[in-house]
């Protein structure tokens, strides 16, 4: 009897255990309630696009270039600004910028309202890559001149001549302007770059110029150079000899000026197409005597023409067979003249420095092809510049010599420490602040 009762009790416990285990398994298998995550919408603020000192996101931006027939009034009228308002804007802006000076082909920008009317609020004109003029008439009317941030990157380039310097620079991805500057501005009277020898080598310390940190505008200047020609070393260091006129020249390690008072030619890498010849006879004119009192340098139209020496412009005009020409007085003894220009840059009374661009090669006046006729006066008489014993450039003064030698000492050490297989960035300088970030790499 007891045994039967124990069996029944055991069965009850067994059934209870089965029920408990089933409940446990059932609870374990039940999925947990899903809590839906509510995602919040993130509204990103548009990234600022800054140019000319404005956030362009605040405006409808319209860009164009000055077309023939365009004037300040025509442009604003075309964009629904009425003429009484245009006159008011021009009057307020005239002390800062003469709106009649807009040049065909130059870019301008209109900042317009972000509505259905898109009325201009600001006119921005760029006469060149660096400078710009802002005429703002959003609330009040005002105008000002400004310029984009300029960055100068100082570098050292080196090379060994295998054929010519231009190819050597090109192989390294360097600007050919370095060759022009070394050949015509620094070593014009020291090294003949048309007769370089295989194995000649160089180091040059220079700076590249960038606008807005990214637009490359070319080589800015050469600070120092070392050229080994026929195993003979030639150092060159740039040094300011006149702070008032901002005259800079190149001197060697002994403070001797590397230049003559005059460049050999007013255009770079040109050829002499006709020499100074008082006995010239031309078949077209029946072999009559027609003296040629100038030296013709053939070059493509638009080639820059340089002043061959420092001086003051005495004439800049277009006349007869000379076409567009510029004449420069250098001192009481020497004058030079540059004929047949496409366009003149130098103005009467302007002081120009050796190497400054004074115009561009053209075919104005009596000419059978693009060239510049270079005329040279000594004591009021036209002479052949190639037969003159021309003076050396002004030597460095004794008072400046000690300062110069101290100035070049660290630069010379810097050049000497660089091998002929290094191209190095030395310094990265932003012109609108004084932060110098030193960067260095080799490749």
Length of the chain: 443
Please give the Cα distance from 47 to 297 (Å, whole number): 54
Q: Model confidence over 342-356: pLDDT tens digits?
A: 999 999 999 998 889
In this predicted structure, the answer to whether residue 376 has a pLDDT above a threshold of 90 is yes
The reported pLDDT for the residue numbered 434 is 35
Task: Using a pLDDT cut of 90, give the percent of the chain over it.
Answer: 44
Give the residue, 215 or 39, on which the prediction is more confident: 215
- Whether 169 has a pLDDT exceeding 60, the answer reads yes
pLDDT band for 184, please (50, 70, 90 cuts).
confident
Kindly tell me if the per-residue pLDDT of 149 is higher than 70.
yes
pLDDT at 440: 28
CA pair distance 109, 28, nearest whole angstrom: 71
In 3D space, the residue among 200, 228, 253 whose CA is nearest the CA of residue 412 turns out to be 253
CA distance 203 to 210: 22
Select, from the ranges 20-29, 96-105, 185-194, the one with the highest average predicted confidence (pLDDT): 96-105
pLDDT classification of 33: cutoffs 50, 70, 90: low
Highest mean pLDDT among 160-164, 216-220, 300-304: 300-304
- CB contact set of 35 (below 8 Å; sequence gap of 6+): none
The pLDDT of residue 127: 94
130 Cβ neighbours under 8 A, 6+ residues apart:
147, 148, 150, 211
Residue 148: count of CB within 10 angstroms of its CB: 18
Task: State yes or no: pLDDT of 218 exceeds 90.
Answer: no
- Of residues 5 and 48, more confidence is placed in 48
Q: What is the pLDDT of residue 436?
A: 34
Which residues in the chain are classed under CATH 2.70.70.10? Answer: 271-387
* Residue 442, pLDDT score: 29
**Residue with more model confidence, 390 or 103:** 103
Lowest mean pLDDT among 81-85, 227-231, 250-254, 385-389: 385-389
Query: 55-59, 206-210, 380-384, 390-394: lowest mean pLDDT where?
Result: 390-394
The verdict on pTM exceeding 0.85 is no
d(CA 219, CA 152): 9
Say if residues 54 and 111 touch (Cβ distance below 8 Å): yes
Positive or negative CA dihedral for 373, 374, 379, 382?
Answer: negative
Is the per-residue pLDDT at 118 higher than 70?
yes
Average pLDDT, the chain: 83
Please give the full DSSP string across 50-77, using - where no structure is assigned.
EETTEEGGGSEEEEEEPPTT--HHHHHH
Q: Is 36 helix (H, G, I), strand (E, B) or coil?
A: coil
Please give the pLDDT value at position 8.
Answer: 56
Give the confidence band of 42 by pLDDT, cuts at 50, 70, 90.
low
CATH architecture of 271-387: Distorted Sandwich (2.70)
pLDDT tens track for 256-311? 888 777 888 899 866 788 777 766 655 545 556 567 788 899 999 999 999 998 88
- Reported as a pLDDT band with limits 50, 70 and 90, residue 402 is very high
317-344 tens-digit pLDDT = 999 989 999 999 988 889 999 999 999 9
Task: Tell me what the mean pLDDT of segment 40-65 comes to.
Answer: 85
Classify residue 260 by its DSSP letter: B
Question: At 441, is the pLDDT very low, low, confident or very high (cuts 50, 70, 90)?
Answer: very low
Sign of CA dihedral 4, 10, 13, 18: negative
- Per-residue model confidence (pLDDT) at position 22: 59
Q: Which fold has domain 150-259+394-437?
A: Nuclear Transport Factor 2; Chain: A, (3.10.450)
- List where CATH 3.10.450.350 sits in the chain: 50-147, 150-259+394-437
What CATH number labels 50-147? 3.10.450.350
């Amino acid at each position: 009897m007891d045994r039967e009762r124990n069996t029944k009790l055991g069965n009850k416990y067994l059934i209870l255990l089965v029920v408990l285990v089933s409940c446990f398994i059932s609870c374990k298998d039940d999925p947990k309630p899903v809590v839906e995550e509510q995602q919040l919408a993130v509204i990103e603020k548009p990234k600022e696009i800054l140019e000319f000192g404005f956030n362009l996101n605040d405006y409808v931006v319209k860009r164009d270039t000055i077309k023939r027939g365009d004037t300040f009034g025509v442009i604003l009228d075309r964009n629904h600004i009425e003429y009484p308002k245009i006159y008011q804007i021009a009057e307020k802006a005239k002390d800062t910028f003469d709106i009649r000076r807009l040049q065909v082909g130059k870019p301008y920008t209109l900042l317009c309202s972000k509505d259905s009317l898109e009325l201009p609020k600001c006119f921005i004109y760029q006469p060149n890559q660096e400078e710009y003029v802002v005429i703002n008439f959003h609330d009040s009317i005002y105008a000002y001149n400004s310029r984009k941030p300029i960055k100068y990157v100082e570098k050292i380039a080196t090379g060994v001549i295998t054929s010519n310097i231009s190819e050597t620079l090109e192989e390294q991805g360097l600007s050919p302007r370095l060759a022009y500057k070394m050949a015509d501005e620094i070593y014009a009277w020291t090294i003949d770059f048309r007769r370089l020898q295989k194995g000649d080598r160089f180091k040059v310390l220079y700076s590249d110029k960038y606008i807005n940190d990214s637009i490359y505008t070319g080589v800015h200047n050469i600070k120092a150079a070392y050229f080994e020609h026929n195993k003979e070393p030639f150092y060159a260091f740039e040094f300011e000899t006149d702070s008032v006129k901002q005259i800079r020249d190149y001197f060697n390690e002994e403070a001797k000026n590397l230049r003559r008072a005059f460049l050999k030619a007013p255009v770079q890498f040109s050829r002499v197409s006709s020499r100074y010849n008082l006995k010239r006879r031309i078949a077209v004119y029946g072999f009559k005597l027609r003296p040629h009192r100038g030296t013709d340098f053939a070059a493509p139209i638009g080639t820059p023409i340089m002043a061959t020496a420092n001086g003051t412009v005495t004439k800049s005009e277009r006349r007869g067979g000379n076409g567009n020409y510029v004449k420069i007085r250098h001192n009481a003894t020497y004058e030079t003249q540059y004929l047949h220009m496409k366009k003149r840059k130098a103005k009467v009374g302007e002081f120009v420095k050796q190497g400054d661009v004074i115009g561009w090669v053209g075919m104005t006046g009596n000419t059978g092809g693009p060239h510049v006729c270079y005329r040279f006066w000594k004591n009021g008489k036209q002479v052949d510049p190639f037969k003159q014993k021309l003076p050396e450039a002004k030597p460095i003064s004794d008072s400046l010599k000690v300062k110069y030698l101290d100035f070049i000492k660290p630069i010379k050490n810097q050049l000497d420490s660089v091998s002929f297989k290094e191209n190095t960035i030395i310094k990265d300088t932003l012109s609108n602040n004084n932060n110098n970030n030193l960067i260095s790499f080799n490749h």
